[in-house]
Amino acid sequence: MSYRYTRHYTGPLEAVIFDWAGTVVDFGSFAPTQVLVDAFASIGVPISLAEARVPMGMAKWDHIKTLGQLPDVARRWQDKFGAPMTDADVDRIYAIFMPLQISRVGDYSAMIPGALDTITLLREQGLKIGSCTGYPREVMNALQPVAAAAGFFPDCIVAADDLKAGARPGPWMALANVIELGIKHVAACVKVDDTAVGIHEGLNAGMWTVGLAVSGNEVGLSLAEWQALTPAEQVPRRQRAADKLAQAGAHYVIDSIAELPGVIADIGARLARGEQP
């Protein structure tokens, strides 16, 4: 006779794991994308900001490689150099990109409105604050002091090149937060991200996921640009972004981190009823 044992976690939430750019800092996620545009321009291959946004959320070397495989970018590269982009070419662009990113990441990384209030509220509820990012550790070493000066001190930070296993869309950075924070069950965690690949990361780790449609990469506007739109102009942009994150599997999609407390309360109630991510 065989027995089947199923354990459903019904305890409280223990941690919220945040992405960085477009989620907690850098409304519109400009630091990684604009610098990529500039890095490609420096070698004579123009790319648009929209193209730079397509692989957002990936580790930056993988981001550059994927960007170079987009059909229009690949065609421009072939026209310029007479051959497809190779891994050595990716290394060359990465070597240009990294110093630019380190020197300029702080210029774009103001806190997103509502972020500090939300994080303070989550801490008051006893939740731990984790984080992971598509940025490599060198960039995070430049960004962390900027964020700390603004009042953001996550309990854990995992960079894209910290782990041998790799980065998104795999679960490893999110799970490294689970280990570092001492979380008892992955269902007690919420992953918050502005990119589809970041949502995949959370789902692959067995967590609840929340997509941020307006503040991040999918709308891709600065706060001033977003606020300058009329409500009628905002609606289709918000909807396209929300649809992409929902199609990626996000359990919830909201505009920004400022709306997160209500979602956290709802997830807590669902866990208490025995629901799972």
Residues with catalytic roles: 19, 60
Concatenate the DSSP letters of all residues of the chain into one string: ----------S---EEEE-SBTTTBSTT--HHHHHHHHHHHTTT----HHHHHTTTTS-HHHHHHHHHTSHHHHHHHHHHHSS---HHHHHHHHHHHHHHHHHHHHHH-PBPTTHHHHHHHHHHTT-EEEEB-SS-HHHHHHHHHHHHHHT---S--B-TTS-TT--TTSSHHHHHHHHHHT-S-GGGEEEEESSHHHHHHHHHTT-EEEEESSSSTTT---HHHHHHS-HHHHHHHHHHHHHHHHHTT-SEEESSGGGHHHHHHHHHHHHHTT---
